[in-house]
Structure 1
Amino acid sequence: MTSPRTGESIDTIYWIEGDYIRDAVREISLFMRDWRTNDVHNIDLRTIDIMAAAHNLMDVNEPYMLLSGYRSPKTNAMLRSRSSGVARNSLHLQGEAADLRLNSRSVGQMFRAASACRGGGVGKYSGSNFVHMDCGPVRTWGG
């Protein structure tokens, strides 16, 4: 993954033969922190799994561009004041969601891959060129 906000990137193996690698998961959570406040929250392993599974289905080498991972309450409130599309109780607040982009795949392709995983919620934001993936109830939205 890369972050357009911080310029950071991460390429890590977080799971081997049925076991999560604790240090790698910690590194992913640090990477997916709220870049506005620098607050770190554990990212739900199910969200990481959905992201990885969708990425594998698309058969790409390009890393995701992470637009938003964990969001602090302060950041979520600020975003809600600017957009009606930000949920009051967003799963980003619990480290259970990510907003992602790939230059080599369309929003529709990413949406279909993530939806095929049937692991949580998938939102298509074509106008903003990103896909939301979360480990909440299985559902889809967007146009």
Structure 2
Amino acid sequence: MQTTTDAQLVSEPSRIPDISRRALMGGGLVAGAAALMPFPAMAAGAEWRLAIRNVHNNESVDAVFARAGRFVPEGLAELNHGLRDWRTGEVFQMDRRLLALLANLRAKLDLPGRQKIDLISGYRSPHTNAALRARGGEHTGVATRSQHMLGKATDIMVPGISLDKLRGAALALGGGGVGYYPRDGFVHVDTGRVRHW
């Protein structure tokens, strides 16, 4: 059985790894492969779509980022732009596993493909992250080595879905970190190691 590593994701940017739950369980893969869980095998002709709306500038993106087992460069570029650091305008290549995780989260909530996810925070430049940490207050939970700076995290909410339900769905997927911020009105999801707070 052939496995796909993070290095291969970079060197083969258009290929979506074909990893099934059975292959993971029966193949005895290393722990690193568990990080690829948000990439299930894709049915022939299937599409992965993600629609987001930035709550700070009201910009929306609705893009197909994978089709028939291959990444769609134009869709990835649109999502990278939509998930950029809205404070500085800096665009970063977002982790494709994060995009898949968000699409799977939407599906887990039985929402249609064009249902927008409200974005509080996507990519954060080191400058923005440091400024938020220095400001403190509501940003006291900002990590020095934030997953946001790696393009592996979003803070989100979904109109019409309670934060409790959103958090529960994210936890059930087991695709990485899940943070619950009911006072601030969002759930953090990332593709780092599986943990919750």
**TM-score category of the 2 structures, normalised to the smaller one:** over 0.9
Greater relative contact order (CA < 8 Å, ≥ 6 in sequence): 1
* SS in structure 2 of the partner of residue 122 of structure 1: strand
Alpha-carbon distance in 2 for matches of 1:109, 1:136: 21
* SS in structure 1 of the partner of residue 59 of structure 2: coil
Whether 1:111 and 2:167 are equivalent positions in the alignment is: yes
Of structures 1 and 2, the larger Rg is shown by 2
- 1:118 deviates by 1.1
* SS in structure 2 of the partner of residue 113 of structure 1: helix
Match of 2:158 among 94, 97, 102: 102
Alpha-carbon distance in 2 for matches of 1:115, 1:23: 30
After alignment, is 132-141 or 55-64 more displaced?
A: 55-64
Question: What residue is the counterpart of 1:134 in the other structure?
Answer: 190
Alpha-carbon distance in 2 for matches of 1:20, 1:139: 28
Identical residues among aligned pairs (%): 38
Structure 1 counterpart of 2:79, one-letter code? I
Question: What residue is the counterpart of 1:92 in the other structure?
Answer: 148
Whether 1:72 and 2:72 are equivalent positions in the alignment is: no
Alpha-carbon distance in 1 for matches of 2:105, 2:58: 23
* SS in structure 2 of the partner of residue 75 of structure 1: helix
Structure 1 counterpart of 2:64, one-letter code? I
Question: What residue is the counterpart of 1:122 in the other structure?
Answer: 178
Matches within 5 A, 1:40-51: 40-51=91-102
* SS in structure 2 of the partner of residue 100 of structure 1: strand
TM-score, length basis structure 2: 0.69
Partner deviation per Cα, 1:59-116 (whole Å, 9 max, x = no partner): 1243111110000111101111222211010000011100001121111111111111
Question: What residue is the counterpart of 1:8 in the other structure?
Answer: 59
Matches within 5 A, 1:29-68: 29-61=80-112, 62-68=115-121
